[in-house]
């Protein structure tokens, strides 16, 4: 008898909002950058063991995103909760400590053996005072490490019941919980820090830290895990230059056109063939987090080499340059007009090399030129309702007359810029190679003086070019294009 099959449905899954996911990810991304990394745990254990005369340890246990109203469900009753102010901000954090652990620590400070405890009763007024003393010492230790964040720590109140906590703290607000395992001799309990969602949304980001102690801590943590990605490879690209061009002008490129690269430190030295010399920029992957600068030389094997001089955190190199359509064969008046056109083309514009964005824009350009109007993608369809809305927009556009709309949309292509990159060469480097790079390293390329260079858009080669000199400046003549 054949078994009946039915679709399996997951049940009781945690429901998270996108804001909760973003804030939690930002917090976890930020943890390696916090001052609580190098040696902090040892200092915390030393302080607590000196105060309570017991073996203390703390392990990070994970995070939990709490939606509006869920905090009351998580807090124990009775409880041991401290309200901590974060001046100069008005936000407040909560620190919850396992009630049994708190009572054991208080008993040890008062000279007891930490044996007679009752986790079903809140702390007395005297016990609140003793435990507040312990917390003040811990906050003082944390404040010293938090100095670079410009946030203070202030113990504002202790609460033993949810009823008293509600009077001083908005327990219904969404937050993110950092959970820790707390070891007191043989007893295992917990400690939890509750941070308001608004605090993290406004102060924490998922972007890498700026140069400073936080960046050094993040890099140290990254190097600890380098073995996990040691063999992953990425292209290292050596650029002659780049120019921002509207999509329509990329499509209009033809052989014998000349691209003039401005503000380049590279020059062609006379010879047969001419030799490229000067300083160039290299980047790994998309180069979003830094560039290498080095001098171009010809090595013993007759190939170009880059002698690395500096590694600088920076964004993607800004596109610069002019496009001369057949300028070398024009008369004086036509060449002057080509120069003016080139200046107009090189006006500052937004360069977006992300594949998804560029594919969407190219598709929009093609539709506009062919008369098939369609809305641009906005980063993905979130649900079926968005998909239906997009479909209805397409149908509405078709009904209202595609030709007129497409003619108007075609003019918007001048606002869509992409980067045309002139590549001298690229090599494949592993993650281990990247972290070992230092000024003085030599990177050997496969090209020799006189070889053609690559023309690249969106990481894809669209043609080849020849390095030329135009009135003392570096240019590239287009030799071939693949359209």
Q: Give pLDDT tens digits for 42-75.
A: 999 999 999 999 999 999 888 888 888 889 889 9
Radius of gyration of the chain (CA): 31
pLDDT cut 70: percent of the chain above it: 73
Say how far apart CA 349 and CA 300 lie, in whole Å.
41
Interval 314-337 mean pLDDT: 49
Longest CA pairwise span in the chain (Å): 100
Q: Could you tell me the CATH superfamily of domain 233-374+414-481?
A: SpoA-like (2.30.330.10)
Q: How confident is the model at residue 394 (pLDDT cuts 50, 70, 90)?
A: very low
Identify the residue with better confidence: 102 or 201.
102
Q: How confident is the model at residue 402 (pLDDT cuts 50, 70, 90)?
A: very low
What does the DSSP 8-state code read for residue 50?
H
Q: How confident is the model at residue 1 (pLDDT cuts 50, 70, 90)?
A: low
Say how far apart CA 418 and CA 455 lie, in whole Å.
13
The pLDDT, as a whole number, for residue 348 is: 34
For the chain, domain boundaries: 18-214, 233-374+414-481
The pLDDT, as a whole number, for residue 123 is: 94
- Segment of 131-135, 208-212, 405-409 carrying the highest mean pLDDT: 131-135
Say how far apart CA 339 and CA 333 lie, in whole Å.
10
- The DSSP bridge partners found for residue 278 are 266, 296
Spell out where 15-55 has E strands: none
Say how far apart CA 452 and CA 436 lie, in whole Å.
30
The pLDDT, as a whole number, for residue 380 is: 38
In contact, 332 and 343? CB cutoff 8 Å: no
Spell out where 25-74 has E strands: 56-66
Q: How confident is the model at residue 351 (pLDDT cuts 50, 70, 90)?
A: very low
18-214: which CATH architecture? 3-Layer(aba) Sandwich (3.40)
Say how far apart CA 477 and CA 469 lie, in whole Å.
10
Burial environment of residue 467 by CB neighbours within 10 A (0 to 12, 13 to 18, 19 or more): buried
Distances, alpha carbon 102 to alpha carbons 65, 128, 129, in Å: 25, 10, 12
Residues 6+ apart with CB under 8 A from 312: 290, 291, 292, 293
Burial environment of residue 109 by CB neighbours within 10 A (0 to 12, 13 to 18, 19 or more): middle
Say how far apart CA 62 and CA 131 lie, in whole Å.
25
Three-state DSSP string of 417-478: EEEEEEEEEEEEEEHHHHHHCCCCCEEECCCCCCCCEEEEECCEEEEEEEEEEECCEEEEEE
Lowest mean pLDDT among 101-105, 234-238, 316-320: 316-320
Interval 418-434 mean pLDDT: 87
How many residues make up the chain in this entry? 483
Note the pTM of the prediction, 2 decimals: 0.56
How confident is the prediction for the chain on average, in pLDDT?
A: 77
What does the DSSP 8-state code read for residue 65?
E
Q: How confident is the model at residue 191 (pLDDT cuts 50, 70, 90)?
A: very high
Interval 376-382 mean pLDDT: 37
- The DSSP bridge partners found for residue 153 are none
Quick one: how many helices (H) and strands (E) in the chain?
14, 18
The pLDDT, as a whole number, for residue 104 is: 94
Q: What distance, in Å, lies between the first and last C-alpha atoms of the chain?
A: 59
pLDDT at residue 482 greater than cutoff 60: yes
The pLDDT, as a whole number, for residue 208 is: 59
Structure confidence by residue, pLDDT tens digits, 260-280: 887 788 889 888 889 999 999
Say how far apart CA 138 and CA 127 lie, in whole Å.
17
The pLDDT, as a whole number, for residue 343 is: 37
The pLDDT, as a whole number, for residue 433 is: 84
Interval 248-252 mean pLDDT: 79
Q: How confident is the model at residue 97 (pLDDT cuts 50, 70, 90)?
A: very high
């Amino acid at each position: 008898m054949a078994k009946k099959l039915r679709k399996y449905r997951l049940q009781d899954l945690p429901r998270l909002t996108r804001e909760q996911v973003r804030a939690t990810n930002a917090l976890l991304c930020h943890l390696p950058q916090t001052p609580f990394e190098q040696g902090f745990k040892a200092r915390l254990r030393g302080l607590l063991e000196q105060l309570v005369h017991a073996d203390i340890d703390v392990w990070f246990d994970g995070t939990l995103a709490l939606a509006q109203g869920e905090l009351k469900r998580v807090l124990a009753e009775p409880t041991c909760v401290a309200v901590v102010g974060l001046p100069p901000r008005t936000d407040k954090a909560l620190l919850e400590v396992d009630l049994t652990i708190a009572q054991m620590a208080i008993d040890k400070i008062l000279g007891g053996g930490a044996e007679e405890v009752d986790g079903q009763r809140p702390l007395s007024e005297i016990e609140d005072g003793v435990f507040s003393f312990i917390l003040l010492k811990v906050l003082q230790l944390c404040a010293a490490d938090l100095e670079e964040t410009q946030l203070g720590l202030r113990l504002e109140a202790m609460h033993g019941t949810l009823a008293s906590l509600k009077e001083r703290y908005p327990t219904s607000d969404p937050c993110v919980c950092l959970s820790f395992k707390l070891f007191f001799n043989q007893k295992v309990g917990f400690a939890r820090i509750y941070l308001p969602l608004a605090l993290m949304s406004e102060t924490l980001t998922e972007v890498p830290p700026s140069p400073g102690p936080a960046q050094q801590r993040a890099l140290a943590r990254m190097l600890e895990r380098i073995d996990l990605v040691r063999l992953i490879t990425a292209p290292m690209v050596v650029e002659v230059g780049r120019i921002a061009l509207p999509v329509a002008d990329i499509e209009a490129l033809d052989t014998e056109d000349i691209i003039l690269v401005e503000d380049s430190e590279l020059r062609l030295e006379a010879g047969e063939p001419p030799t490229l010399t000067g300083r160039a920029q290299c980047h790994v992957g998309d180069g979003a987090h830094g560039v290498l600068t080095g001098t171009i030389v010809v090595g013993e094997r007759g190939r170009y080499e880059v002698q690395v001089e500096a590694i600088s955190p920076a964004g993607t190199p800004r596109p610069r340059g002019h496009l001369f359509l057949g300028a070398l064969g024009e008369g004086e008046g036509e060449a002057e007009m080509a120069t003016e056109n080139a200046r107009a083309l090189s006006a500052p514009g937004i360069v977006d090399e992300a594949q998804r964005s560029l594919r969407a824009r190219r598709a929009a350009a093609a539709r506009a030129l062919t008369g098939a109007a369609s809305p641009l993608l906005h980063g993905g369809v979130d649900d079926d309702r968005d998909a239906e809305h997009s479909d209805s927009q397409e149908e509405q556009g078709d009904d209202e007359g595609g030709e007129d709309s497409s003619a108007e949309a075609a003019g918007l292509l001048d606002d869509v810029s992409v980067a045309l990159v002139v590549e001298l060469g690229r090599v494949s480097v592993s993650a281990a190679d990247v972290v070992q790079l230092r000024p003085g390293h030599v990177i050997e390329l496969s090209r020799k003086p006189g070889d053609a260079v690559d023309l690249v858009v969106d990481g894809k080669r669209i043609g080849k070019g020849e390095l030329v000199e135009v009135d003392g400046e570096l240019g590239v003549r287009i030799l071939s294009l693949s359209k």
